[in-house]
A and B are shown apart, each in its own frame.
Chain A
Amino acid sequence: MTALWIALLIACLGSYGLKLAGMSLPESVLNHPRVQRVAAFLPVAMLSALVAVELFDGGGGRYAVDWRTLAGVAAGVVALLLRRGLLVVFLVAIGVTALLRLVT
């Protein structure tokens, strides 16, 4: 078994374990204000870090930007500003990126 498979299975079972823990732990633990604040901030910090890394990491420790991806994501932000739903944001972002890649 490869390291990738082992890490993948740990991550899968751990993810399920987190869901199960939320339904099983005493509520007092999860309702602790400090714990709740950290938990609320966790996806905010990590999702924005993921966005930044997806857009600016060129691999091998170098920065790189593909302006077509950037333009597609920016078009998605415009859709968000126009209060469109997830599906529209998703389609606009990949559509604009694919189109720019086709014509450039």
Chain B
Amino acid sequence: MSQPTDAAQPVLPQRGAILRAAVGIGLYAGAFAVTFGAVSVGSGLSVAQTMVLSLVMFTGASQFAFIGVVAAGGAPFAAASAALLLGVRNAFYGVPVSEILHPRGARRWLTAHFVIDETTAMAIGQPTQAAKRYAFWATGLILCSLWQLGTLIGALVGRAIDPADFGLDAAAPAVYLALLWPNLNRTETRVVAVAGALLAVALIPIAPPGLPVVAAAAVAVVAGLRRARP
């Protein structure tokens, strides 16, 4: 495991602030993971399947997309497509993370698992290289631990309760909107967001479950290629 502290260097001045921010993100992630676990078993997945999603997939939006399609009665492979398309953004986070951590060999395999929205945002937001490394690993390890713990609690509790009684059905859409929010400051991303939602809603009565979300990817492809032309 890469340790963020370097014995040859003085203690990071930003260390306390980074740790506080990482714990804050971890607490939110833990609460969201409880929701994920409860909604997942409520959607018909087993506790084991729910845990494999959190342990191996370990990227929240893709996990929710997967169980959302399953809950809607969609084909398992439509669920996998939606999860994978949403996971494409993690590949792009690999570029700045590689520049910060320069992981080699086996360490690259381990580091890759932790490349998600929160760790990338925390790492690139720091002023120095050492602070970036510390932020990546502090956020990654705290978030991952609480994500697994939260999922397990949610999956076990979820078998005994109806997630809707606790308003948990509102959690995923509210969190997606919060993730979208910073992107909606530009006209072109607003247009893409609205077009994706409208296309998905239009397809609900005619497409098999899961496909409306996958089809929204086409909006991104068309918008991305079109805007690239001079």
Chain A interface (Cβ < 8 Å from any Cβ of B): 3-16, 18-25, 27, 30-31, 33-34, 36-57, 59-63, 66, 68-69, 72-73, 76-77, 80, 85-87, 89-99, 101
Q: CA of A62 to CA of B204 in the docked complex: distance in angstroms? A: 7
B176 partner, pick from A51, A68, A94, beta carbons under 8 A: A51
Given A46-B65, A48-B180, 4 new contacts (CB under 8 A): A4-B45, A85-B28, A86-B28, A93-B173
Contacts of B181 in A (CB 8 A): 80
Interface centre among A4, A15, A25, A72 (most CB of B within 10 A): A15
Q: A11-B66, A16-B112, A76-B170 are in contact. Are A42 and B217 (CB under 8 A)?
A: yes
Q: CA of A39 to CA of B183 in the docked complex: distance in angstroms? A: 13
Contact with A along B12-25 (1 / 0, CB 8 A): 00000000000010
Q: CA of A54 to CA of B165 in the docked complex: distance in angstroms? A: 17
Q: A91 to chain B: closest CB distance in Å?
A: 8
Can you identify 24 A-B contacts, CB atoms within 8 angstroms? A7-B76, A7-B77, A9-B52, A15-B57, A15-B90, A23-B94, A24-B94, A25-B94, A39-B91, A40-B92, A41-B223, A42-B85, A42-B88, A42-B221, A45-B195, A52-B198, A61-B206, A68-B167, A80-B178, A85-B28, A89-B174, A90-B174, A94-B166, A94-B171
Assess whether B66 is in contact with A8, with CB atoms less than 8 Å apart.
Answer: yes
Contacts of A21 in B (CB 8 A): 91, 94
8 smallest CB-CB distances across A and B, nearest first, come from A22-B94, A97-B167, A38-B224, A45-B196, A7-B76, A98-B167, A93-B174, A49-B216
Q: CA of A87 to CA of B23 in the docked complex: distance in angstroms? A: 12
Chain B interface (Cβ < 8 Å from any Cβ of A): 24, 27-28, 31-32, 35, 45, 49, 52-53, 56-59, 61-62, 64-66, 68, 70, 72-73, 75-77, 79-80, 82-95, 97-98, 103, 108-109, 111-113, 115-116, 164-181, 183, 189, 192-201, 204-206, 209, 212-213, 215-217, 219-221, 223-225, 227-228
Q: CA of A63 to CA of B167 in the docked complex: distance in angstroms? A: 20
